[in-house]
Amino acid sequence: MEPTDEGIIERLQARVDAVRAAACGVCARNVCGHEILFSVAMGLGDKPRCLDCLAAGLGKSTNPFRDHLNAHFRQRHCYAEVWRRENQREGFASDSLPGCLWSAADPERADDASESSDGRVAVSDEPGVAVFADETWDAGDIACGDLVLGLRHRMSALTPRARLMLVARDPGATEDIPAWCRMTGHALLAQHHPHYWIQRKD
């Protein structure tokens, strides 16, 4: 682990702890730690939603959305560590797919969830010289939940179809930003790490 990793994990954990046992912001059902972590990843950590409402709000089916986020977390050590802790807190083996969100009959639960090959955003690896941006945001080396939280805030401030050029130096951004755009429906026009051009959805 790099020296800063522990701090990133503890800040992510603190974000989960801050709203522990909150009610879903849509249906008022109590959310579990995993659902809070999903919400944090989507930039909704201050007003967590249950998995069903989170998926529905993004126009996704619950289980594919859940599996996609889980696969994404496994590639991100900060999310993976907090996920393991939440498994233990809720009484599940630390590396299992927790029974709160996966039914025992779910065939996925027996397998390692793996990143699906579909849904990858086709983007250019070339610098986006022709891509015009309305706004820029230099996120520096902000990582994990803090990056998407800041990004969500800035995208929501744009007018529909306006473009943001993001500078994000965290190495995880190469996975996090395309995944976040896929999940939220904003268009990733081009990426050339650490630069990302994102167009707000309508």
Q: By the criterion CB under 5 A, which residues form the site for Zn ion?
A: 24, 26-27, 32, 34, 50, 53, 90, 98, 100
Q: Report the nearest approach of Zn ion to the CB of residue 45 (Å).
A: 15
The pair of structure tokens assigned to 142 is 């902000």
Q: Report the nearest approach of Zn ion to the CB of residue 166 (Å).
A: 30
| Residue number with CB closer to Zn ion (89 or 161) | 89
Q: Report the nearest approach of Zn ion to the CB of residue 124 (Å).
A: 38
| Residue number with CB closer to Zn ion (50 or 190) | 50
| Residue number with CB closer to Zn ion (18 or 27) | 27
Q: Report the nearest approach of Zn ion to the CB of residue 100 (Å).
A: 3
* Angle at alpha carbon of residue 200, lines to 195 and 202, rounded to 5°: 160
> Long-range contacts: 17-23, Cβ < 8 Å, 24+?
18/45, 19/45, 19/46, 19/48, 22/48
Helices (H), 47-202: 51-57, 62-74, 77-89, 144-156, 173-184
| Residue number with CB closer to Zn ion (83 or 197) | 83
